[in-house]
Amino acid sequence: MLWILLVAGIAYGQDCGAKPPQRPWAPAITNGRDSDPNAWPWQLSLRYNADGVEPFGHTCGASLLSPNLALTAAHCVDPEIGGPERDIPANFRLIAGAHAMELTGSEQVLSVSEIIRHSRYVADSTIGFPNDIALLRLAAPANLDDPNVAVVCIPENSTHLFDGRPNCWMTGWGLVDFWDGRLPTVLQEGEQELLTNEECQAEFPFPNLRETHQCVGRGADGTPGACQGDSGGPLTCLEDNGKWYQVGVTSFGILGCEGAPSMYTRVAAYREWIIDRINAP
Judge whether residue 251 has pLDDT over 90. no
Q: How confident is the model at residue 43 (pLDDT cuts 50, 70, 90)?
A: very high
Position with higher pLDDT, 200 vs 144: 144
Q: What is the pTM of this model?
A: 0.87
Q: What is the mean pLDDT of residues 204-226?
A: 71
Q: How confident is the model at residue 27 (pLDDT cuts 50, 70, 90)?
A: very low
Q: Which helix (H) or strand (E) holds 4?
A: strand 3-5
Given 45, 58, 132, 230, which residue is catalytic?
Answer: 132
Judge whether residue 279 has pLDDT over 90. no
- Residue 113: active-site member: no
Judge whether residue 28 has pLDDT over 50. no
Q: Three-state DSSP class for 280?
A: coil
Judge whether residue 183 has pLDDT over 80. no
- The pLDDT of residue 198 is 86
Domains in the chain, CATH or no CATH each? 41-151+271-278 (2.40.10.10), 168-269 (2.40.10.10)
163 vs 95, 141, 210, CA distance in Å?
30, 33, 15
- The pLDDT of residue 153 is 96
Q: What is the mean pLDDT of residues 139-166?
A: 92
Given 35, 63, 66, 75, which residue is catalytic?
Answer: 75
Q: Which of 17-31, 75-89, 236-250 has the lowest mean pLDDT?
A: 17-31
Position with higher pLDDT, 100 vs 222: 100
Q: What is the mean pLDDT of residues 80-96?
A: 94
Contacts of 70 (CB under 8 A, 6+ apart): 44, 46, 62, 63, 64, 94, 110, 135, 136, 138
Locate all alpha helices (DSSP H) within the chain, ordered by sequence. 79-82, 197-203, 271-278
Mean pLDDT of the chain: 84
Judge contact between 136 and 129, C-beta under 8 A. no
Judge whether residue 5 has pLDDT over 60. no
Q: Is the dihedral of CA 78, 80, 81, 84 positive or negative?
A: positive
Given 35, 45, 63, 231, which residue is catalytic?
Answer: 231
Residues 101, 215, 114, 84: what is their CA dihedral angle, to the nearest 10 degrees?
-80
Q: What is the mean pLDDT of residues 95-106?
A: 94
Judge whether residue 221 has pLDDT over 70. no
- Residue 132: active-site member: yes
